[in-house]
């Protein structure tokens, strides 16, 4: 595989009162059809990281179906990258079996699931969290992933899918640190689910992993994808969804079959608990 493109973002930040440029060297692998024969459903696929994943997967030869609540957004995004779409509210678990059945027919046999849909309500702290906010994030980030994965595995078992089945979750760097807010709690629980499922189903041909991005440009977190990537963390920048999509594509490819139950944190080591911090 070759390097498709190299983008150098110049980022300025203040250090002891002076503006100092730093650079983010971002590389994308050239498409090589290493997702050929993969038939992938992506929740939250109409925009942000989910859309970047869908676009990358299509470029790698996969047949892709994006899902989300806003049908108009899905329709526009699917037309742009030439993939399929189906509306889905991940809080409505009663719809999951019908959704998976229909996605399976549209794709001609589903064999990959990407649980990407998620929300963060950015509460100021523990005392600012209401039961409604708590339930909404639990239902979207954890409960929905749990039961959609259940429906996917049941479908694969029912149809006797051949080859390796892949399930990918979108976790977060917050899952690697303590948190008192629902978003962080859901992502920590998600990591446990990923590893529990990976261990249980490895001998049935499943490979189950997660990407855990740092703060990535999206409608949910903000940022400027047109060049200003400044953010107050150890690397001084936001990440681009396309960077994380590269990692996701590798995890869905058969080149990663030796990886199972792994949480790949995409933040250049920001959350490493170094003793000299």
Chain segment 210-265, per-residue pLDDT in tens: 999 988 876 655 555 455 555 555 666 778 899 999 999 999 999 999 999 999 99
What tens digit of pLDDT does each residue of 172-221 get?
A: 999 999 999 999 999 999 999 999 999 999 999 999 999 999 888 766 55
pLDDT the model gives residue 14: 41
pLDDT the model gives residue 52: 96
User: Average model confidence (pLDDT) for the chain?
Assistant: 89
Specify the pTM: 0.88
Share above pLDDT 90 across residues of the chain, in percent, rounded to a whole number: 75
The reply to whether 12 falls in a domain is: no
Is the pLDDT at 1 greater than 90? The verdict is no
The reply to whether 178 falls in a domain is: yes
pLDDT the model gives residue 29: 87
Which is more confidently placed, 22 or 36? 36
Which residues form the domain of 78?
Answer: 38-266
Which is more confidently placed, 76 or 26? 76
Average pLDDT over residues 145-153: 98
The reply to whether 23 falls in a domain is: no
pLDDT the model gives residue 185: 98
pLDDT the model gives residue 21: 60
The reply to whether 22 falls in a domain is: no
Q: Where does the pLDDT of residue 17 fall: very low under 50, low under 70, confident under 90, or very high at 90 and above?
A: very low
Provide the sign of the torsion angle of the four alpha carbons 89, 91, 95, 99, taken in this order. Answer: positive
Average pLDDT over residues 44-50: 96
Average pLDDT over residues 263-273: 90
Q: Where does the pLDDT of residue 26 fall: very low under 50, low under 70, confident under 90, or very high at 90 and above?
A: confident
Q: Where does the pLDDT of residue 15 fall: very low under 50, low under 70, confident under 90, or very high at 90 and above?
A: very low
The reply to whether 21 falls in a domain is: no
The domain tally of the chain equals: 1
Which of these ranges, 91-100, 123-132, 209-218, has the smallest mean pLDDT?
Answer: 209-218
The reply to whether 14 falls in a domain is: no
The reply to whether 24 falls in a domain is: no
Average pLDDT over residues 145-161: 98
Dihedral in degrees, nearest 10, Cα atoms 71, 76, 82, 83: -20
Q: Which of 21, 77, 89, 83 is nearest to 46 (CA)?
A: 77
pLDDT the model gives residue 74: 98
Is the pLDDT at 171 greater than 70? The verdict is yes
Q: Tell me the CATH number at 256.
A: 3.40.50.720
Average pLDDT over residues 65-94: 98
The reply to whether 217 falls in a domain is: yes
């Amino acid at each position: 595989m070759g390097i498709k493109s190299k983008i150098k973002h110049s980022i300025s930040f203040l250090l002891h009162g002076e503006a100092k440029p730093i650079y983010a060297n971002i590389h994308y692998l050239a498409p090589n059809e290493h997702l050929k024969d993969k038939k992938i459903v992506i929740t939250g696929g109409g925009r942000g990281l989910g859309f970047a994943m869908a676009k990358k997967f299509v470029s790698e030869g996969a047949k892709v179906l994006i899902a989300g609540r806003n049908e108009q957004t899905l329709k526009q995004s699917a037309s742009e990258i030439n993939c399929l779409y189906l509306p889905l509210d991940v809080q409505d678990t009663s719809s999951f079996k019908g959704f998976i059945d229909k996605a399976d027919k549209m794709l001609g046999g589903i064999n990959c699931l990407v649980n990407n849909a998620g929300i963060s309500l950015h509460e100021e702290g523990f005392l600012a969290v209401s039961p409604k906010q708590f339930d909404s994030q639990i239902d979207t980030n954890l409960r929905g992933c749990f039961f959609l994965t259940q429906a996917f595995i049941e479908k694969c078992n029912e149809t006797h899918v051949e080859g390796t089945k892949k399930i990918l979750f979108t976790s977060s760097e917050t899952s690697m640190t303590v948190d008192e807010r629902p978003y962080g709690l859901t992502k920590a629980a998600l990591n446990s689910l990923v590893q529990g499922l990976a261990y249980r189903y490895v001998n049935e041909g499943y490979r189950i992993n997660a990407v855990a991005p740092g703060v990535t440009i999206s409608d949910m977190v903000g940022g400027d994808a047109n060049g200003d990537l400044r953010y107050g963390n150890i690397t001084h920048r936001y990440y681009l969804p396309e960077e994380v999509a590269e990692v996701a594509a590798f995890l869905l490819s058969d080149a990663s079959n030796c990886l199972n139950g792994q949480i790949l944190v995409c933040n250049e080591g920001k959350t490493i608990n170094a003793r000299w911090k």
